[in-house]
Amino acid sequence: MVMQKIDISFKRIQQLALPAIVAGIAEPILSSTDAAVVGNISEFGTESLAAVGIVGSFLSTIIWVLAQTRSAISAIISQNLGAGNLKSLKFFPAQAILFNVLLSFILLFSTYFFIEEIFIFLKADGKILTYSKDYYYIRIWGFPLTLFTFAIFGIFRGLQNTFWPMIIASFGAIINIVLDIILVYGVDNFIDPMGVKGAAWASLIAQLIMAILSLSLLLYKTNVSLRLKRALHPELKRLVTMSFNLFIRSIALNIALLLAVREATSLGKEYIAAHTIAINLWLFSAFFIDGYGAAGNILGGRLLGAKMYQELWTLTKRVNIYNLIVSLLLVTVGVLFYNHLGLIFTKDTLVLTTFYSIFFIVLISQPFNALGFTLDAIFKGLGEMKYLRNILVAATFFGFIPTLLIGNYLDLKLKGIWVALVVWIAFRAIALIYKFKVKYYPLAKSELVNHK
């Protein structure tokens, strides 16, 4: 059988990465828009911003614990595509989507009835606690919709298509922005201002529209069948195994993020508000960087399925270089607009002063983000979920938490939290570089020798 050539040129990588960048930054825009709009409410804006920060971090936790199944679905489909076995996956997509949605409802109801205790654990009290519950009890119902959409995104990515996810995510972000402004601030003589509840409704409606659009495009723009078959597809077992490892990985990841929120909240409302601004900008840049990671993920899985290790090595070097360039551009933008970005979220002088005191650390993290997130995405495409799990657990418990404790001891306040986050990311980046060089470079070298 003649091996089909897989294009990993600069042009092909851009074709996959650029739509993935747009789709990626659209996701944190949902939370960032909520934060920016409610942070500028004239009455209790700081409390509203803090509440959205707390709930946003918690929802990101439970979403990303299960959204990792998107990567598992994408890896399985892309590897089968590379190996020429795509027809064997006929009943897999429908079962994968159902698996994702059922998991979302299990996790939703496991937290729904204990949410006040969870927010109290995160140090929310008074108006911040009240606003947090108001926001959560509406927005949580978008959770299954998001997981449904992400499962379909995984199918598109496995089929080497990042264009439709870009369209869906962009449309959802635009809807969210428009509804945020209308529902939070109200419209004279037509809609009363709804505050944080309005922000929650805006996100929920946007998520519903994205789910409907995802389903429509999958049915009308692909040959994927959503017929359910009672017999479980053989690849479903691998999906469950991959998802379980990513589930543990995501718990470790979100332990770090939630501990950061808890520590920031305990310092006072100005600190959690400043941390909310910083984490939203950090997530925005992270998803921006993740675009090239997505290209590496999609093409890497296909190259592995085709056993084209030399091309896999070349691809990995290219996307890492591209993302390092992107990270330096993000740092440059951050430096140029250092005193302006915070104003998007709030006009509170104390919150802004606190934010500006740590924003430089957010910028320092960008090159580490580039390497860590790119290799993380590639490893997902290669199906290396077990190793990703182990590294994240180690980075959290041997990198982030000890550094956080040292920061507390030295009374570094918010700076200590962000230094811990940088250590956490750098730990992951170094470990992934080492693993790739040890495991995949010898395979590429061996293939090159054999071809000679």
Q: What is the pLDDT of residues 206-219, one digit of tens each?
A: 999 999 999 999 99
Range of weakest confidence among 66-80, 171-185, 246-260, 401-415: 66-80
Q: What are 187's strand-pairing partners?
A: 191
Confidence (pLDDT) at 183: 92
pLDDT band at 247 (very low <50, low <70, confident <90, very high): confident
Fill in the amino acid letter for 438.
V
Residues in the chain: 452
pLDDT of residue 125: 83
pLDDT at 397: 96
Which one has a higher pLDDT value, 44 or 414?
414
For residue 4, what pLDDT is reported? 63
Q: State percent of the chain over pLDDT 90.
A: 36
Least confident of 4-8, 131-135, 273-277, 360-364: 4-8
Q: What confidence tens digit (pLDDT) does each residue in 119-169 have? A: 888 778 888 888 889 888 998 898 889 889 988 998 998 888 889 988 998
How far apart (Å, rounded) are the C-alpha atoms in residues 426 and 378? 17
Specify whether the CB–CB gap between 21 and 173 falls below 8 A.
Answer: no
Q: Where do we find the tokens 């729904």?
A: 112
Task: Give Rg (Cα) of the chain.
Answer: 22
Q: 58 vs 356, which has greater pLDDT?
A: 356
pLDDT-based confidence at 400, cuts 50/70/90? very high
Residue type, 98: L
Read off the pLDDT of residues 359-376 as tens digits, 9 standing for 90 and up.
999 999 999 999 999 999
Q: pTM, whole model, 2 decimals?
A: 0.79
Spatial distance between the Cα atoms of 26 and 287, rounded to a whole number of angstroms: 9
Predicted confidence band of residue 29 (pLDDT cuts 50, 70, 90): low
Q: What gap in Å lies between CA 380 and CA 72, rounded to an integer?
A: 7
The alpha carbon of 128 is separated from its chain's Cα centroid by a whole number of angstroms, namely 25
**Is the pLDDT confidence value at 311 over 80?**
yes
Task: Provide the pLDDT for residue 330.
Answer: 93
Burial class (CB in 10 A: 0-12, 13-18, 19+), 219: exposed
What is the enclosing helix (H) or strand (E) of 445? Answer: helix 414-451
